[in-house]
Amino acid sequence: MFSPPRRDEGDAPLCHSTPKGDLQEISFGPRFPARIPVSIYGWYRVLVFCDSRRESKGRVMRRLHRLVSPNRLAPRYMHPGGEKDAPDDVDAFLTFYVNSYVIASELNRCSMSEPRLYLKVSDRMPLVKIDSGYRWRLKKTLKARYDSRKRSLDLTQFYTDEAWREEFCALAQPHCLYEAISIVSSIMPDLLSLKLDRNHLRNLWPFVHLEQRLPNLQCISLLNNDIDTLNMLQVFQFLPLTELDIRRNLLPSGYENDVIRMWPSLKILDGTPIWLGRRVTSDVDPVEKLSQQTGMNPVFSRQLLAQNEGDYSQALWVFERLYDAGQIPPKAFM
């Protein structure tokens, strides 16, 4: 059983004759803020809201420093107002970031007890601006990961590099990825192999026209990222790829044959050599293959492939969803 809320000792005891209108309304809201999720990048966004226009940034930050004491508060990327990717936070007094879960949790916990201040702490990553200093550090870090003998560049978990201990750089942010590619193409134009494992990549459009910037690139590894459609891989379509690794992404099952058709030059896919029989099998007409696998006639199979930009795996996935929902007309099977 739940025990009744405690009353102040000065309150008179309640009895049957106490009018209901004299009872105080009791709030059963949360006594503690919700725990913030652990950031995959180790950075946390802190939005500060205050109800007084007379507050200054210096006064607010001194109060926050006292809140987390004896821990050290080292705010980064501080600026007035909210962030442009969160319209609901436009009225924030200021925004900053910390790269410590301990500090983020302490700010989150203490915000409930601080009058006239409200803190909104989340695991959202910083929106960095690339200036000349940032570009210099990025170039230096890329050069340190380059193997000139093998003409290979290993950017595995790039955001964890020691160079970013006090800075934030995630290739999952398109503008950071685009800047990195621009630097690579200018200082490593003969690059043969590029490794991008475990960077939480989803958007690959910064790689568009890569065949013009890195024409000799033959090996790409995208192991353990967040790519969920083969359409994203079309940015590499005009490269002379011989090796591609896209294991442990969010791609639909059975994507391998589609990938082999996209790159006739491919010799190794997902760490496994492509044998001749499999390459011949992959050359089967996709309309005929989809028709055989789904039971639909060639007309509807061709339409479904066209609607999915020729992506066989995506078309098959869409068919399964539509079929389960009963949205495919009977004439498609005639």
Give 317's pLDDT tier (boundaries 50, 70, 90): confident
What is the predicted pLDDT for the residue at 319?
Answer: 83
Residue 22 pLDDT exceeds 60: no
For the record, the structure tokens of 290 come out as: 């989809």
Is 205 within the bounds of a domain?
A: yes
What is the predicted pLDDT for the residue at 112?
Answer: 66
Q: What is the CATH number of the domain that holds 237?
A: 3.80.10.10
Is 37 within the bounds of a domain?
A: no
CA atoms within 13 A on the CB side of 273: 3
Are 293 and 240 in a shared domain? no
Give 45's pLDDT tier (boundaries 50, 70, 90): very high
Q: Last residue of a domain, which of 98, 122, 146?
A: 122
What is the predicted pLDDT for the residue at 80?
Answer: 92
Are 249 and 167 in a shared domain? yes
Are 277 and 143 in a shared domain? yes
Is 30 within the bounds of a domain?
A: no
Is the preceding peptide bond at 70 cis, omega within 30 degrees of 0?
yes
What is the predicted pLDDT for the residue at 320?
Answer: 78
Query: At 105, is the secondary structure helix, strand, or coil?
Result: helix
Highest mean pLDDT among 117-121, 248-252, 303-307: 248-252
Are 117 and 151 in a shared domain? no
Give me the mean pLDDT over the 141-148 stretch.
Answer: 98
Give 301's pLDDT tier (boundaries 50, 70, 90): confident
Are 106 and 146 in a shared domain? no
What's the pLDDT tens digit per position in 114-134? 677 889 999 999 999 999 999
Are 175 and 273 in a shared domain? yes
* Residues contacting 63, CB < 8 A, separation 6+: 114, 117
Instruction: Domain of residue 311: give its range.
Output: 286-333
Q: What is the CATH number of the domain that holds 103?
A: 3.30.70.330
What is the predicted pLDDT for the residue at 311?
Answer: 74
Residue 14 pLDDT exceeds 50: no
Give 194's pLDDT tier (boundaries 50, 70, 90): very high
Are 182 and 214 in a shared domain? yes
Are 151 and 209 in a shared domain? yes
CA–CA distance, 318 with 134 (Å, rounded to integer) = 43
Highest mean pLDDT among 24-38, 125-139, 316-330: 125-139
Is 100 within the bounds of a domain?
A: yes
Is 169 within the bounds of a domain?
A: yes
Q: Sheet of 152-154: strands edge to edge? A: 146-147, 152-154, 193-195, 219-221, 243-245, 268-269, 272-273
Q: Last residue of a domain, which of 122, 144, 161?
A: 122
What is the predicted pLDDT for the residue at 85?
Answer: 85
Give me the mean pLDDT over the 242-259 stretch.
Answer: 92
- Burial of 135 by CB count in 10 Å (0-12 exposed, 13-18 middle, 19+ buried)? middle
Are 144 and 81 in a shared domain? no
Give me the mean pLDDT over the 183-211 stretch.
Answer: 97
Q: Last residue of a domain, which of 71, 98, 122?
A: 122
* Angle between helical axes of 132-144 and 174-187 (0-180°, round to 10): 60
For the record, the structure tokens of 74 come out as: 């080292």
Strand-pair partners of 219: 193, 243
What is the predicted pLDDT for the residue at 1?
Answer: 39
Are 267 and 157 in a shared domain? yes
Contact 227, 204 (CB under 8 A): yes
- As for how many domains the chain has, the answer is 3
Closest CA to 320 of 298, 293, 297: 293
Residue 321 pLDDT exceeds 60: yes
Give me the mean pLDDT over the 306-318 stretch.
Answer: 77
> Average pLDDT over the chain, rounded to whole?
84
Is 12 within the bounds of a domain?
A: no
